[in-house]
Structure 1
Amino acid sequence: MRSDLVPEGLWERVAPLLPPAPERRRRHPGRLRVPDRTALAGIMYVLRTGVAWRDAPGETVGCSGVTAWRRLRDWTEAGVWPRLHAALLTELRRADLLDLGDCAVDGSHVRALEGGDHVGPSPVDRARPGSKHHLIVDRQGIPLTVALTGGNRHDVTQLLPLLDAIPPIRGLRGRPRRKPRRLYADQGYDFDKYRRLLWKRGIKPVIARWGVPHGSGLGKVRWVVEPSFAWLHQFKRLSIRYERRADLHQGLLELACSIICLRKLRLQT
């Protein structure tokens, strides 16, 4: 197994969250189970390179791509990835590396070559099948939550579900934080109804308006979401959607967000 695929810091945080391995049968036990860290290396290899699961090199990774896919399926169904992301956000807040005062939200289109759940005709890609990644980030571009929808879903329809999906972020004394103070967004979110809903939640909406000349100054804060999408789509398995199952693609998105959080921790410690 290539050690660079699963660094020690990542494994230390993932291992406690994994479900226990099933007990081996006493009679006809079959092959030995591939170690969890080796299977995670297979998942990381596919996530980084974008190769098909069947083409993952077993001699490099340490297990077949099919084994890695099955472990991804099992761990996704067990809810490992959102718990990993929440744990890393807590670490960032404890280290004073998370700024929840100003957050930004946006969506990004990706092609969906294999179809599946949450796929629709993309309005920016000649109605080809596509999906959307929706993201909320803090002031430094750290992803707080990510969601997957069909390519034909309007960005604003996911605004409230995204806010609801932000995990309770602990790390400091007092109540855990679950919402930003101010939320920045582009003109795609320019609906007075959603401004009122944000105010009701105690969040100040700072949303660009249609027809207003360029130069509002909102881009000074809102721009951070664009590099975050670039970081996310550096994982080649996410720049184009190949997974037919939406939950598995969502799991890979959450794993990628966790890795981005871990990089931020490493840079500052």
Structure 2
Amino acid sequence: MKRFLIYTIKIIVVAIFIAVALDGIYTAIFMQSKNRGKIETVFNSKAKNYDVVILGSSRANNHFVSQMFEDKGLKTFNYGMSGGHLFEASLMLKLMIERKYDIKNVILESDLNLSSDHEAEGIAALFLPYIHNSGVIKKHFSNQENFNELYYIPFYRYIKYDAKIGIRETFFTTIHKKTTALDNLGYYPLEKHKNGNMKNNITNLNPLKHNKYYEEIKNICKANHINFIPIMTPMCENVVGMNYFDKVKKTYPEIHNYENVVVENKYFSSCGHMTDQGAKIFTARIIKDFFKK
């Protein structure tokens, strides 16, 4: 029995040692990443100056054409993240402030994601390689149910989110394989597809009366003298339940409602995402209304 216990303890010690070593190796690799995605690019960056920073989900990523702002002399980057929620948008802005970014305006896509204050696991996982190297990231995740496992168990986060930060992503990061995430100043243009989903029902969607992460973004902007521009972006003409946007306006009267600036289906790749042509019409209106010179 004694030999068995000693053997078991040795296995446990070796397993912990391997986990700690792998955790250190993976983290060191991600700490050098600067060209695969928006999160690691911000984390591993130094102070930058922007006239306009765009935050939100894919409805920011696909709807705000960064180059059109640049053409007006406004240094801009679209940090919208497909699949992301306000949880991740807030953390992205916190990272920028932690890195001493000088930002004049933040445009936040504020509509459908106001109905939830949960993290988007697949996107949130991309912050986790840096959880031991950033007080901002640690604090942001500290209220999540699985925080202790993510923070204190070595290599656990890389195993749990293997599809996002596992061996495949680590390998591509090691060989500096680029993605399209940083192309077009962060904006991702969409094309019209004949099989695009042109129906959507948001009848049962309701904005939270107090979305924690929306309020965080608003307060961060106020504290850092950043002009905060929250915007509702368009949806196609087939959507059922468009009174959701009225509910948003009633709950958050400071949010600018632009959901009806572009409505024709021909300008949409899917019901919630405009094509490049539609995005350009929409962006032109935003520049005209908020950045007239």
Q: What is the TM-score of this pair, normalised by structure 2? A: 0.24
Q: TM-score, normalised by structure 1?
A: 0.25
Q: Larger radius of gyration, structure 1 or 2?
A: 2
